Structure 1
């Protein structure tokens, strides 16, 4: 195991190279907006987000080296530092804030304003960055060789590969362009439907899959195992639970239907209606139980890492004048935290009081520490942020109810607390990963920390526009934007505050999760599969199968910076961006004018969807099976 004292970064501390430049700041800001919007769209569709550090590093390197002909690895690193902050802030925001829009649609509260969304996300983003600053020395430096930081190492390898002109930028940009074109064909001019469904009348259900590049790209990045667990949950929901509900309860009237029997609901809306009224509550119970079990299982590690980080804080006051050991002043951290907490307490637009502000400080610093070290162990993509958020939401909602803050205001306060905590955990985890990449390369921590704050501010200023735009175009909770995590947070909050959650369905879902845990399966992945529509799980599974084929065929190309992974990352970004553009067109009334579906017979549309899906699979395999020498 490498000793910290013996470690030498790629760029020595004594050497000063361009790093915090106009080019890196401007490029990073653009990527923060791009990946923030793309990840927001992706998370609202499938309930999962991806780490943007590696694709941001690739694009940043493409900008600095290929386009601008500059040769500074630290500039490229700064681009990905600022750019990945947008993805992290978006991930925290979309897991929680859409719950406010869902309540507004039900008439319970007023629709959240752009200003309130901006301030909530800004508070979470800045606190996440500030809480991580005093932890850098103890977590990044003192535990070098102890915490592997797998994705940070992969990101550093990508940037180092750029030094030998092996960047993979072409794969990322190709994926972006192809996915944007597919998205425009499917959801823009609507030549083909976005999903293919085959009814299975004997089982009273259907088999379906989406053909969208982003969802298949998620499956490719996750790999075969995780994708198969998601698909297993989908099979359980759609081929066992739904047929059982129809078979055994066909003539029954069950909550929450308004007088309709299950048979009548199925006749009117098919298997999808049964999923919407019943199975999603079972899936919610499975998700809550999986999140809490995940948190409980990691509690020993959480407390150990939190204690060791606090113990290492004394070593954070590093008086070294070396460039690679300079952090932002602790005074900046303290005054910044105080200013943000006062804003949370005193600004009426945030709708949180002193109790909420105190809870945010306590939970925020705790989960910032936990998230930073968990990323060091399992990577940002596997960081259990949702479990931390559910735990925070449950505790804070109970405390708010006990203190008399109930009703609409109490629910808003609970979601506000959960939103800020979720963003803090996501931001702190991303920042620790970026600082680790910088540590390996020889970046200046102080400049990276400023870059993270810039990325958080820019993302906070833009994420509200993205959320409002998407909600106006399709609506959260719709087929296009199911917002599964936010819907879950809404159900949990309502269940605690009002006691109107159908607990019998929730407990069935929780029992399913317990069975998965007993069998040794990753219950969170299976629970997400139960909760999501089958068409999403199937598309993710297609991507996982493609990854499996590539890894068997091309064993040297299984790393996180292989052509297939970079191409899939580009597809996610490209479809997300095109989705935002189409949302703008929809809101402006242009969407209906470019809709060509009325001129094409349904049979032709289905055939076209199959052909498009086959073509997409062929393209993914073409890029994924390329050798290293192709990645230029």
Structure 2
């Protein structure tokens, strides 16, 4: 079956690839700098529709496939950024070759792509999960197609944030931190002077950021300041307890995902496996058993053969390229199927993809059953994190395509193009950043907090407080099962306080913006008020996305320029 005409186009691929390179570079920088990575799908959807309309007539399907290409590399960058810097954090040296990072990225991309072929029908059609990010992308494309000038707002906010970042990081005329000299033992207090982090707080959602900030209060002022003030432990011990508790809570969230969403549906997923291994959709009101069974079986056998060959190629690549023993390579490939299913289920129900947690789970399993060197354990976590990140992005895009009626094969080809391109771009950006800033710039005390990679590094090198980690694991699992945003709580406990505080201020800016917009709509009719509300929500989303993208892009350009000029940042 060929992709439907007018969906996967040459101009769409060109626009998607340019956007993919920019968004992937910005995402790598964002993930390392902020310890978080908002989904870029809505941002990519807006950009895709804008440029396609500028070039002439287009349709929602072409825009959907184009934004699929554009957003694919972001989660590849996230998977690498959330794991590989752990090696630099432990060794304080750049001991990873660029080609090793590229093998990790390409292996993860391949596994993510082949797994989504198998999973698409179950998660998108049979399970009918919400996939809130994918739904939002579909609605954004519909709204953008109906009208609205977003280009001026988007590029204007990107330009402002970019200039601001250059003045701060390149020219040094703007401080990086406000109130950073407030003397609170053990607490990195301050307001990070970052349009990007404010935008993250604006975009993530007020309730989630409040939980994030509550975690920061608990970790910093409850455990570190409060505990040391009461004489229960010293400041250094309090910091170890807080980081261990935060890691445990985030890991508990991953366990909760498995218990709540994966295990109860494992049997039905296996039963649906054969039918899921195709791209075709079943029209409503028809039975699959009535449709060309012989041709269907041939198609399924061909798909299964391609998947088996791809999986075997990845296992061989891991053995030869990364030096993993055959047993460990087989474990990684097999568990990729399990973890990508976990990722799809989590994204479908919550919109959250804890890819590094899934990578860490596989890392621990491999370490327990195989004699693998420390650096190779990070490679294992990176492969799984990339595969899970890409799988989450693919399934979001498939959901948007299902809502709009886009050909899933065209979308999958777009994902493959963007994923492979994103692997090369992400590796280049990370290699340039470590060359520009040095390996000691990564970690909680450095320029790049790399929070998730710090978690992985700590798990590999030794947890500061095993009891605190165990408590966090149990609490995180229970709270997730109760439906609370526990991942954000753990992130707040673990991250430096200034990051959580700045994101909180961004969320408060969202509250103020919503209140101001509500007052402006007070005298309008209900129909006018609703139309105005949608326009105001879109404006806030576009401007915040521009601030995030502007600082991310210029931050990467500053790093590239410093390497080219031989400067130390």
Answer whether contact 1:83 1:455 (CA < 8 A) is retained: yes
State the partner residue of 1:563: 539
Tell me the TM-score normalised to structure 2 length.
0.85
Q: How far is 1:22 from its partner? A: 1.6
Asked if 1:489 is matched to 2:451, the reply is no
Q: 1:178 to 1:320 in 2, by over 3 A?
A: closer
Asked if 1:385 is matched to 2:355, the reply is yes
For 2:541 and 2:337, locate their aligned partners in 1 and report how far apart those are by CA, in whole Å.
33
Asked if 1:42 is matched to 2:30, the reply is yes
Q: 1:204 to 1:446 in 2, by over 3 A?
A: closer
Q: 1:571 to 1:28 in 2, by over 3 A?
A: same
For 1:491 and 1:204, locate their aligned partners in 2 and report how far apart those are by CA, in whole Å.
19
Q: How far is 1:17 from its partner? A: 4.3
For 1:448 and 1:167, locate their aligned partners in 2 and report how far apart those are by CA, in whole Å.
26
State the partner residue of 2:413: 450
Match runs of 1:156-555 below 5 Å? 156-166=138-148, 168-197=150-179, 207-244=189-226, 247=229, 278=237, 280-298=239-257, 299-316=259-276, 329-347=303-321, 350-379=322-351, 382-400=352-370, 405=371, 410-474=373-437, 475-477=441-443, 478-495=445-462, 501-503=463-465, 506-508=466-468, 510-511=470-471, 522-554=485-517
For 1:422 and 1:181, locate their aligned partners in 2 and report how far apart those are by CA, in whole Å.
33
For 2:469 and 2:90, locate their aligned partners in 1 and report how far apart those are by CA, in whole Å.
24
- Provide the secondary structure at the position in 1 that maps to 2:146: coil
State the partner residue of 2:549: 573
Tell me the TM-score normalised to structure 1 length.
0.77
For 1:437 and 1:568, locate their aligned partners in 2 and report how far apart those are by CA, in whole Å.
22
Query: Alpha-carbon deviations, 1:365-386, whole Å to 9, x = none?
Result: 011122223222122xx22323
Query: Alpha-carbon deviations, 1:187-224, whole Å to 9, x = none?
Result: 12111211111655587867411120110111001122
Query: Alpha-carbon deviations, 1:134-162, whole Å to 9, x = none?
Result: 2222222233xx31222111111111122
State the partner residue of 2:43: 55
- Provide the secondary structure at the position in 2 that maps to 1:60: helix
Asked if 1:70 is matched to 2:91, the reply is no
Q: 1:446 to 1:581 in 2, by over 3 A?
A: same
Q: How far is 1:175 from its partner? A: 2.6
- Provide the secondary structure at the position in 1 that maps to 2:191: strand
Q: How far is 1:82 from its partner? A: 0.9
- Provide the secondary structure at the position in 2 that maps to 1:383: coil
For 1:455 and 1:75, locate their aligned partners in 2 and report how far apart those are by CA, in whole Å.
15
Answer whether contact 1:282 1:531 (CA < 8 A) is retained: no
Q: How far is 1:582 from its partner? A: 0.8
Answer whether contact 2:120 2:279 (CA < 8 A) is retained: no
Give unpaired runs (5+ residues) of structure 1. Answer: 1-12, 253-261, 263-273, 496-500, 596-632
State the partner residue of 1:151: 133
Q: 1:142 to 1:515 in 2, by over 3 A?
A: closer
Asked if 1:585 is matched to 2:547, the reply is no
- Provide the secondary structure at the position in 2 that maps to 1:434: helix
Q: How far is 1:86 from its partner? A: 0.7
RMSD: 3.2
For 1:443 and 1:32, locate their aligned partners in 2 and report how far apart those are by CA, in whole Å.
20
Q: 1:159 to 1:354 in 2, by over 3 A?
A: same
Q: How far is 1:314 from its partner? A: 2.5
Answer whether contact 1:91 1:423 (CA < 8 A) is retained: yes
For 2:262 and 2:510, locate their aligned partners in 1 and report how far apart those are by CA, in whole Å.
32
Q: 1:338 to 1:523 in 2, by over 3 A?
A: same
Asked if 1:112 is matched to 2:86, the reply is no
For 2:383 and 2:536, locate their aligned partners in 1 and report how far apart those are by CA, in whole Å.
30
